[in-house]
Structure 1
């Protein structure tokens, strides 16, 4: 019996995607070999590679103004690659909404670029998204769209004249996005769109002109990867294959509007359960609560370890809160179904009855 995996990432995968990969693991399309065994330069793999890029752009409704890059090093390498490639001689502005923006700010400072934190919710333990006003002339404006640890999420992105950079790792491919002022949109795919080992970057082509002027090693240069269609070096072929299957599944589901409808339904089920329980609570601003990562607490904190233990015994994994914040966290990414969220809610109600 499969477990219900509420882990923050790597996270659960769509069962039919897993089964498709299982069916093709040793014999891809009846060709007598695995997709993992063939050259990334072969026409067979290129069909997967470029098909994945095309489907990703289709889901977000992007035109040829944007390039899709498949890169290694996870989202964390992008914390450095972004300032390396896109910082000019001005100031790079950041909104600090938690651990992942703090890490990005740290990497930019190490590189010696001019960094300004223009908004932060740190004094309130990151329990909300602060109002953000970026300068028009900033080299770029940087946000993290969803915060896995603290459970907050931008419902709308800031409108900026400066190029907007969005780390969307934990709500990637979960909803439609307005790209009108987005210069670079990226994430690790291991939460909503595939398996670990792959970062996907959507970059507006005018930003590649900045990269082209930089004196950087080839592997850290966006323009090199764009010119080589993310085939400059051997890419993580199986991760791209899994990403492509996930893109196909999302399109067959009905696209990102349909996915957002389902994600909204799941989040409402769980937040209603918390809010109406009397024994569980959340301290986050209601308007900023994440549809992806639901962080909450038990009024009797001594029960939290028992909650996680008994949930595991009932087949639910990954509910222990992040070590920084503690408490409970349920990550309800794309592959989690409303029925699975309902099972968690029923467990929560029974747990409260048992220990109230």
Structure 2
């Protein structure tokens, strides 16, 4: 039985990359040492790291004005690190509240006693099923924070809000390298690796260097200036996740880069959304205009029936479809490495399930 992993993260990696990791695991570059054993001060690591950084810069078209950091701590660590580094001029931060992860970022920023935190727009009134449309910044802020793709709620900014004169910070953890972001429009972008890049333990930060206070003096591991100076090697970096990410970057280049990944992600998501829109049993929960390319929550509207669907789908090899505990229902997460065949298998299973539950329901055409 073929198994398809719809996990929201950690998520599946390209099979070619996993096989290469397997082949090299005991001896990296014929060194007779595993990549997990090599020194972060060695030439082996330095070459690997520089290649990974160069490939990422190429894939995302990162301008020379921006520096790239490979860090630990997960994206959640950036909820504190970003305001410490960027909110020093006005000490004011604006957030657009689009769901759970933006709320967590807001809560962490509010823990910093000298920062003023404003929520300038929220999707609370519609249950976060749609993005707020009236987003205006009435003050000057050090930055405006956006969670670009909301993995739990299944919404995504297809277009950035017009906020003239404001610096934008974007959490792109769940659609980095799967959607064409214009890096130049942001002062800072950050993303954890375990959704669309590789194993957990690595976080990417892309920051416009002239936004940083070169005279700041923060704790070392929270200080972008110090981290940039040491080229992400201030302490022992997450060597294995960086190695795996580097392999994924090379795989992405072979596939045709981010533009090709976006086209494939659109094909997969469109297939599933078409089924949901034509179904009499299943319903997509996110508003059409704001739908995510990578995380698609849906439901039957009946908790018991949702649970039955998840159980039977798992038995059929369609794994990790249970929705997040905050919203229930089902969720299909389909990142770059997830195959079109998996989306098709899910749609076919949904059609059969719908016929079994309500034989009178017409089966939607693929």
TM-score range, shorter chain: over 0.9
* Structure 1 residues 290 and 175: alpha-carbon distance in aligned structure 2, compared to 1, 3 A threshold: same
- Residue 193 of structure 1 pairs with residue 197 of structure 2: yes
Q: CA deviation at 1:266?
A: 0.3
Establish whether residue 93 from structure 1 lines up as the match of residue 82 from structure 2: no
TM-score normalised by the chain length of structure 2: 0.94
Match of 1:129 in 2: 131
Contact kept? 1:135, 1:162, Cα under 8 Å? no
Indicate the residue corresponding to 1:229 in structure 2.
231
CA contact (8 A) 1:94 1:117 kept: yes
SS of residue in 2 equivalent to 1:244: helix
Displacement of 1:159? 3.4
Structure 1 Cα separation of the partners of residues 204 and 196 of structure 2:
12
Answer whether contact 2:60 2:180 (CA < 8 A) is retained.
yes
The 2-side partners of 1:167 and 1:105 are apart by 13
Shift of 1:64: 1.7
Aligned residue for 2:187, secondary structure, equals: strand
- Residue 223 of structure 1 aligns to a residue whose secondary structure is helix
**Paired residues for 1:65-76 under 5 Å:** 65-76=65-76
Q: Distance in 2 between matches of 1:173 and 1:181?
A: 16
Please tell me the root mean square deviation across aligned C-alpha atoms, in Å.
1.2
Can you list the C-alpha shifts for 1:26-48, whole angstroms capped at 9, x where unaligned?
12122222111110111111111
Q: Counterpart of 1:216?
A: 218
> Could you say which residue in structure 1 is the equivalent of 2:175?
171
Q: Distance in 2 between matches of 1:159 and 1:308?
A: 40
Conserved 8 A contact 1:153-1:290: yes
Unaligned runs of 5+ in 1: none
**Corresponding residue for residue 158 of structure 1:** 161
| CA distance in 1 between partners of 2:41 and 2:160 (Å) | 38
Q: Tell me the distance in 2 between the aligned counterparts of 1:315 and 1:86.
A: 46
- Contact persistence 1:159–1:181 (CA under 8 A): no
TM-score (norm 1): 0.97
Deviations 1:164-186 (A, max 9, x none): 10000111111211223300001
Structure 2 residues not aligned, in runs of 5+: 359-366
Contact 2:52 2:249 in 1 (8 A): yes
State how far apart, in whole Å, the 2-side matches of 1:38 and 1:285 are: 48
Paired residues in the alignment total 354
Aligned 1:1-356 pairs, distance under 5 A: 3-88=3-88, 89-112=90-113, 113-131=115-133, 132-135=135-138, 137-160=140-163, 161-208=165-212, 210=213, 212-356=214-358
| Whole-angstrom distance in 1 between the partners of 2:137 and 2:12 | 36
Query: 1:3 Cα shift?
Result: 2.2
